[in-house]
Structure 1
Amino acid sequence: MNKLVFANLIHRPMRSVISAAAIAIEVVMIISVAAIFLGQIDGQKIRTNGVGADMIVGPPNASFINALGGAPIPAKNVEALRKLPHIAIASPVIQKTSLGSSLEILYGIDYPSFNALRPFVFLQGGPFQGPNDVIVDDVFAAPGAGYHVGDTIQVLGHPFRICGIVESGKGGRKMFQIQTLGDLIGSEGKASLFFIKSDDEANQEAIRKEILSTPGFQNYQIWTMHEWLSLMTPDHIPGFDIALNVVTLIATLVGFLVIFLSMYTAILERTREIGILKSMGASKTAIVGMVLRESAMMAVVGIAAGIALTYAIHSALAHKFPSLFFEITSDWTVKAAIIAFLGAVLGAAYPAFMAARKDPIDALSYE
């Protein structure tokens, strides 16, 4: 029976290849979408954690996803925070989501205080020299990208001179003076949030109480860095699970329908062959098993090809878009493989039972 399964797949190579390719595309869609979504979240977590702050202070009623909310806080309010006893450093920052060549979060920083949180490691150049300077990280200015200190780049429709290239992992991939970014987005003298460095992490609760008791800060949102990182998960991102589930469902339906159509037409073409097998004593279980094994083999080949193709896409994107965080996780790779395999088997289930119900006499007389 195993030899017959292989023979049936090889006898119709184009159909087998197309079916396996459909499953491969299903796997690529599921893993890739999850990789891009999760990559954006984890990339933001890594770079925010790399700022060196212990706490984040946001405006009243703000979401922890503050980069989408503009810059509503007066930046001068940072002076009140700096006077509190357990705060060592307070730095105002503007975070602005940009949909230019890629999705990214631009940082407007007060260089002295932001650098004091965790000093930049400059690979080339140095701090801002003028209002139209920008600091970029070594991922944006990767060797293949061709960017160097002194080059001009366009951001938000304005030219900026690269004054320094720093090690990645701290804040945004592009950082501007806070006054400059505020002027560009119509938020002069404003900030999106304040990064706080405590004198001792054991004093974080005391700092929270001090801030909330300060006039004007009673309704502000305050997160420790640990709390903020714990919120940056798919479960807390509005629409994340819905979007991912929709893409997964569409991909599963594509694989299911292709396998169903492939096996259904194969059963119609092999009516006489099935009649011969049943007349030789093949049971219904054996017929069902043969059809399901064929679909399972195509699924295994398609899954393997899909995973390999996903890693090829990852390599291509890493070369073309080095700033894109494309995170392939083992969890989603396993999920995609299981979903694709089950979809293929279920897609072949009805054709398999249809084949098993065929009457051998009718099948043998079929022309």
Structure 2
Amino acid sequence: MNKLVIGNLLHRPLRTLISVVAVAIEVVMILSIVAVMVGQVSNASRQTGGIGADIIMRPPNASFISSVGGAPVPAKIAEVLRKLPHVAVAAPAITDFNMAGGLETIWGIDFQSFNALRPFVFLSGGPFTGPNDVMVDDLYARSAPKNSGPRVVGATIQVLNHPFRISGIVEHGKGGRVFLPIRTLGALMGSADNASLFYIKSDDLKNQDLIRNEIHATPGLSQYQVQTVQEFFSQMTPDHLPGFNIALRAVIGIAVIVGFLVIFQSMYTAVLERTREIGILKSLGASKTYIVNVVLRETALVTIAGIIAGILLAEALRLIMAYRFPTLPFPITAEWRLRGAVIALVGSILGAIYPAWKAARKDPIDALAYE
């Protein structure tokens, strides 16, 4: 049977190749969209972990999404937090979206307190020396567009449509990729003395609950949201992102439909073209199960070849993305390679069931008389 299956596939190389490519595209679509979407979530989690804070305080009714963009609370609250008994460092920060040239988050920080959470590692240059300075991380510096100059210390870049001089390039992994003085970013947003949230470092990790209680006992701060970094990480999952899983399932569904239709059309056409062959097999005693088995084995072989090609293409795409867009996380995990393979295989088998059933139902007399 295996010789028959391979012979059938090699006899129609173009159709076989198109089917393999279709399955490969399906796998690449699944792995790529998952890599982009899940990569953004996991990257945000890693970046937050690199800040060095133990606790995050947000305004009332804010979430880890709504706190990005806008500076609704006074930055001087940090001074109140620093006076609490178990607070070692309190750093105000502003986070805002920049849509120019691609989606990125701009951070406004008070360098002294933000650096006290966990010191920046400078690869070149140093901290802000004026309100029109900007610090960038090494990945952002490497991702300069070809039509612009290199992002090096002393170079001028546009941030929120304003020119800023790069004062320092830091090692990536500390919250964001682009850092402005907090008052500068606040002024650009019309809130010069405000902040989006506060990062707190405790004197001892055992005192986190005490700090939470102290904050809520402080007049004016009782309604503020206080989370440990571990609690924040628990929220940084696709299930907590509005529409994330819906979008992910929609894209995967489209990919499955593409694979299903291509396999269906390919196998259905192959069955029509092999009417006499099927008649000969049945006249020689082949059962319906045997005929179905032949068609499904062909489908499985094509799908496995497409899955392997798709995984290799996705890995090549990951390397290209890492080179061309180093700031865009593009993780392809073993778990999703397996999921993508299973999804593609199930979709292909479903697409081949009707053609296989149609082939098995052919009458051998009619098939042998077919011209």
TM-score (norm 2): 0.97
- 1:250 matched residue in structure 2: 254
Letter in 2 for 1:127: P
- 1:214 matched residue in structure 2: 218
- 2:95 matched residue in structure 1: 95
1:296 counterpart (296, 300, 309): 300
Q: CA deviation at 1:140?
A: 1.2
Q: CA deviation at 1:101?
A: 2.6
Q: CA deviation at 1:214?
A: 0.6
1:68 partner SS: coil
Question: Which whole-Å deviations, capped at 9, do the CAs of 1:232-264 have from their partners, x for residues lacking one?
Answer: 011111111101000010100100011001100
% of aligned pairs identical? 61
2:348 counterpart (338, 344, 357): 344
Q: Is the 8 A contact 1:137 1:165 kept in 2?
A: yes
Distance in 2, matches of 1:184 and 1:246, equals: 38
- 2:44 matched residue in structure 1: 44
Q: CA deviation at 1:272?
A: 0.8
| Structure 2: unaligned runs, 5 residues or longer | none
1:193 counterpart (192, 197, 201): 197
Q: CA deviation at 1:67?
A: 4.2
Say whether residues 1:152 and 2:142 are aligned partners. Answer: no
2:273 counterpart (269, 272, 275): 269
Distance in 1, matches of 2:236 and 2:143, equals: 31
Distance in 2, matches of 1:67 and 1:254, equals: 38
Distance in 2, matches of 1:286 and 1:153, equals: 68
Q: Is the 8 A contact 1:67 1:105 kept in 2?
A: no
1:172 partner SS: coil
Describe how 1:1-367 pairs up with structure 2 within 5 A.
Answer: 1-142=1-142, 146-367=150-371
Aligned length, in residue pairs: 367
Letter in 2 for 1:253: I
Question: Which whole-Å deviations, capped at 9, do the CAs of 1:254-294 have from their partners, x for residues lacking one?
Answer: 00011001100110111111001111111111100000011
CA RMSD after TM alignment: 1.2
Letter in 1 for 2:348: A
Distance in 2, matches of 1:125 and 1:254, equals: 51
Letter in 2 for 1:169: G
Q: Is the 8 A contact 1:67 1:97 kept in 2?
A: no
Distance in 1, matches of 2:35 and 2:100, equals: 20
| Structure 1: unaligned runs, 5 residues or longer | none
Q: CA deviation at 1:69?
A: 4.4
Over 3 Å counting, the alpha-carbon distance change for 1:328 and 1:92 in structure 2 is same
Distance in 2, matches of 1:144 and 1:98, equals: 16
Which deviates more, 135-144 or 94-103?
Answer: 135-144
Distance in 2, matches of 1:144 and 1:77, equals: 37
Question: Which whole-Å deviations, capped at 9, do the CAs of 1:68-104 have from their partners, x for residues lacking one?
Answer: 3421111111111111111111000001122233322
Letter in 2 for 1:55: I
Distance in 2, matches of 1:164 and 1:172, equals: 14
Q: CA deviation at 1:64?
A: 2.1
Q: Is the 8 A contact 1:66 1:95 kept in 2?
A: no
Q: Is the 8 A contact 1:66 1:192 kept in 2?
A: no
Letter in 2 for 1:205: D
Letter in 2 for 1:140: Y
Which deviates more, 99-108 or 192-201?
Answer: 99-108
Question: Which whole-Å deviations, capped at 9, do the CAs of 1:131-183 have from their partners, x for residues lacking one?
Answer: 11111111112388732101111111111111101111101101000011111
